[in-house]
Amino acid sequence: MAFSAAEQAAMRRALELAATPGVPLGPNPRVGCVLLDEHGATIATGYHRGAGTPHAEADALTNAGDRARGATAVVTLEPCNHHGRTGPCAEALVEAGVRRVVFAEPDPNPEASGGAATLRAAGVDVEAGLFAAESGLLNRFWAFGLAHGRPFVTWKFATTLDGRSAAADGTSRWVSSPAARHDTHRLRALCDVMLVGTNTIAVDDPLLTVRDEHDLPLAHQPLRVVMGERDLDPGRRVFNDDAASLHLRTRDPKFALVELFDLGRRHVFLEGGPTLAAAFLRAGLVDEIVAYVAPMLLGAGRSAVADLGITTIADAFRPRVTDITVLEGDAPNVRLTLAPGEDR
């Protein structure tokens, strides 16, 4: 496959458009599109802004008008081939007179795939595979939802060297460093659900919002979800107007994820305490682990995770380390990113 320098530059721009801040993460993929003229100059751009809004190709075609005839469309995902809330993008590209389509990766959604075949049948030159890995990374949580029928779960926790998340008297501020807490907010912003248990709300009263380095809330806020059957004080900060909140009155992780998936949520950031973390781990419903390890020892206090039912070293839960990063500062923390093993 041969892609021109202009097409490569256009795909980089399309990926940037797809990742525009503030676009809902929700049930739809993030897609960007750039239209090029015969000389490789940009005619128009477009991107998808969430469920019910025009797809990236339709947005770009609207911005281009008649200039789209004879153009090359560079798209981060195979143009869709189905009638949903909007019409098929493959047909729209054909009707607009686009002569060539370059896309990054095939659409994994069986209800929407087939756009490439429709385009080729209409005589459009089609090439696939340009920056496919980058496009796949952009939509990995959406694709995970298609494959598994539930949201992707990232479990985040902070711990001391001896595995304590709080001291014996219950104090936990601050186990992690300022750099680690800032990094946590960066990761929170990549999710569409913040999930904790009722005990965390009752004891710690967290806001569960995404905030910047000045502790100011960002425009995009995940849904704050509290899981558990226990009644809670409506005056707890998680129920304020800073972001939407939901109380799921269940102790079943699988049920909770089904409920969230049905609400269009695709990436859960699990920040609950040791009991909730253990419940998700025992159910095999943790897909990524982010641990911030602080250079301190407590010797006693609350463990980072509760009993997992493991009684012998041979049965230990052994996630695979995918990244190790030192977060510099007065008390450097180490961020470990891990993936559960295939045999979980």
The predicted-structure confidence for 91-131, as pLDDT tens digits, reads as follows 999 999 999 999 999 999 988 889 999 999 999 999 999 99
> How buried is residue 200: exposed, middle or buried, by Cβ count under 10 Å (0-12/13-18/19+)?
buried
What are the backbone dihedrals phi and psi of residue 295, each rounded to the nearest 5 degrees, phi first? -80, 70
The CATH fold assigned to 150-339 is: Dihydrofolate Reductase, subunit A (3.40.430)
Residue type, 132: A
Q: Are 303 and 166 in contact (CB under 8 A)?
A: no
Helices (H), 175-298: 178-188, 198-204, 253-262, 274-282
Q: Residue 98: how many CA atoms within 13 Å on its side-chain side?
A: 34
Q: Where in the chain is the domain with CATH 3.40.430.10?
A: 150-339
Q: Are 144 and 266 in contact (CB under 8 A)?
A: yes
User: Measured between alpha carbons, how far is 183 from 191 in angstroms, rounded to an integer?
Assistant: 13
| pTM: predicted TM-score of the whole model, two decimal places | 0.90
Q: Where in the chain is the domain with CATH 3.40.140.10?
A: 5-144
CATH number of 5-144: 3.40.140.10
User: Measured between alpha carbons, how far is 142 from 192 in angstroms, rounded to an integer?
Assistant: 11
Please state, for a pLDDT cut of 90, what percent of the chain lies above it.
Answer: 81
The predicted-structure confidence for 28-76, as pLDDT tens digits, reads as follows 999 999 999 999 999 999 999 988 899 999 999 999 999 999 999 999 9
Is the pLDDT higher at 185 or at 23?
185
Note the pLDDT of residue 1: 60
Helix (H) or strand (E) holding 321: strand 320-327
Catalytic residue among 7, 16, 57, 259: 57
Instruction: Confirm whether 57 is a catalytic residue.
Output: yes
The predicted-structure confidence for 247-293, as pLDDT tens digits, reads as follows 999 999 999 999 999 999 999 999 988 999 999 999 999 999 999 99
Q: Are 140 and 18 in contact (CB under 8 A)?
A: no
